[in-house]
Amino acid sequence: MDSLQGVILSATGVTRVFGQGESAVRAVDGVDLSVRSGELALIMGPSGSGKTTLLTMLGGLLRPTSGSIWIDGVDITRLSEAELAPVRRTSVGFIFQSFNLWETLTVQENVELVLNMAGKPGGAARARAISLLKARGLGARLNFRARDLSGGEKQRVSVARALANEPRLLLADEPTANLDSIRGREVMHLLRDLAHSDGRAVVVVSHDQRVREVADRVLWLEDGRFREIGQLARDPVCGMTVEAEDAVTLTHQGRTVYFCSAGCRWEFEQAPERFADAGPRDAGV
């Protein structure tokens, strides 16, 4: 539908309810979202706000209770499980927080396998896998077992795998969470390039404030709904991004420090010197 206007991902009134009756929880509640070609959209929000649930629905891994999701002009909410598999294979690339590589396979096989799944034969799949991995600086690691790589290398393999079948939509769940700051920054810039240079739509779910540097748009999800973003701050104890307006606060050395919970504030109070960079980090978008 919207693909002619450059919209690759479109979600309308997407709702997901877990449980029934009084115990029913609306994890995602009437979310509308459009992501265009060449755009990197960042979804932030507190833990339990429904970010990952939304991402799994956008990727066709979980069915919404109501609403519709369109990828490249196809309403995936109307597809059967058997019809969804090819969509996930060719139209969507997934990048996971914990990499989710196949540990017993080699680096090359991790990429080659998704090509095989898409019906690409051995020789062509091998050549494409090698090319993708070399482009990510992993030419010397092709025959390593995935389990023998560093975190940064694993994430680069994960990105190469996500790109193997040339999807137009990339979904990344906390892609920098298990990486040090240097590797995290590399991945962020890689995601930006994939959106800007290759014309893909990239949706990132993250707590990492650094991702905001590369995001074209930041969305705040709370209680299953997108909200206007106010002043954001970083909890110095757990590192989580919190909205200053709703956060637990403490005045320390004349500054207001923001926490996600009373537990983090208590931890801070016991030894403030451990959290030297305490203080508001951000003034919103």
Partner 1 sequence: MTVPVARRYLFAEKGRFAISVAGVAFAVLLILIVLALYRGMSRTGQTFREMPGALWVVQDGTSDPFHSVSLIEEPRLDSLEDIPGVAAIVPVLARQMQFEVEGKRTDGRLMALDLPEDAVSAGLRNHYAPPRGAMIIDETLQRMTGLDPGDSASFGDVSLTVDRVNSRSPEILFQYVFVNFTDARRIFGVHDVVTYGMVIVEEDADPEAVENAIVASDPALDVLTKDEMADSIRKEMDETFLPVISILVGIGFVVGAAVVGLTIYTATIERTREFGVMKAVGGSAGFLYRVVLSQAAILTSAGFVVGVLGALGVARLAIEAVPEFATEFRMLDIAGVLAGAVLMAVLASFVPVRRINSIDPASVFRA
Interface residues toward partner 1, by CB under 8 A: 52, 55-56, 59, 61-62, 82, 85-90, 92, 94, 96-98, 100, 102-105, 109, 112-114, 116-118, 121-123, 125, 161, 165, 173-174, 177
CA distance 271 to 278: 12
**Nearest to partner 1 of 55, 188 (CB atom):** 55
Cα of 208 vs its chain's centroid, Å:
11
**CA-based torsion, 9, 35, 207, 101: positive or negative:** positive
Q: Minimum distance from CB of 177 to partner 1 (Å)?
A: 8
Judged by beta carbon, residue 26 or residue 63, the one nearer partner 1 is 63
* Distance in Å, CB of 81 to partner 1, minimum: 8
With respect to partner 1, which residue has the nearer C-beta, 21 or 121?
A: 121
Residue 82 CB, nearest approach to partner 1 (Å)? 7
Task: Pick the closer one to partner 1 by CB: 178 or 231.
Answer: 178
> Residue 152 CB, nearest distance to partner 1 (Å)?
17
Using the minimum distance from each CB to partner 1, give the nearer residue, 161 or 234: 161
Closest CB 228 distance from partner 1, rounded Å: 27
Q: Name which of 212, 205, 207 is nearest 59 in CA terms.
A: 205
Triad 50, 220, 213: Cα angle to 5°: 120
Name the minimum Å distance from CB 107 to partner 1.
12
Residues 214, 191: Cα–Cα separation, whole Å: 8
**Cβ proximity to partner 1, 9 vs 257, nearer residue:** 9
Minimum gap (Å) between residue 158 Cβ and partner 1:
10
Closest to partner 1 by CB, 96 vs 268, is 96
